[in-house]
Amino acid sequence: GPVICCAAWMVLAVLMPVPISRLQMSLWGRTAYTPQVADIFNMTIRDNIVFGSKFDDIRYARVLNACELIQDIRTLPAGDMTQVSER
């Protein structure tokens, strides 16, 4: 929402005072900025995460952990096999 966007831009202005375009990641040292734009496709949560790569259960578990999605996925009746859509 607008509050988060404003907060993100305020932090961004302090950390790297350069124009950032949409869908760009900039990295200086240990600080990174990525825009809050999600690409979600009409398929399962798992398929959106793996996105055509060969499924590796250890890597997949690491990704879920790094993104802190484990608790969220546990609350869904179909877990990571829940169908999602672009909306």
Give 2-49 pLDDT, tens digit per residue: 444 555 555 555 555 455 555 555 555 666 666 677 778 899 999 999
Tokens 């608790």 found at = 71
What does the pLDDT read at residue 45? 94
48-86, pLDDT tens digit by residue?
999 989 999 999 999 999 989 999 999 999 999 999 987
Parse the chain into domains and list their residue ranges: 2-33, 43-84
pLDDT at 38: 74
Four-CA torsion 46, 49, 50, 55, nearest 10 degrees: -50
Bridge partners of 84, per DSSP, are 43
| Residue environment code for 54-64, b if the CB has 16+ CB neighbours within 10 A, otherwise e | eeeeeeeeeeb
Q: What is the pLDDT of residue 12?
A: 55
Angstrom distance (rounded) from CA 39 to CA 27: 21
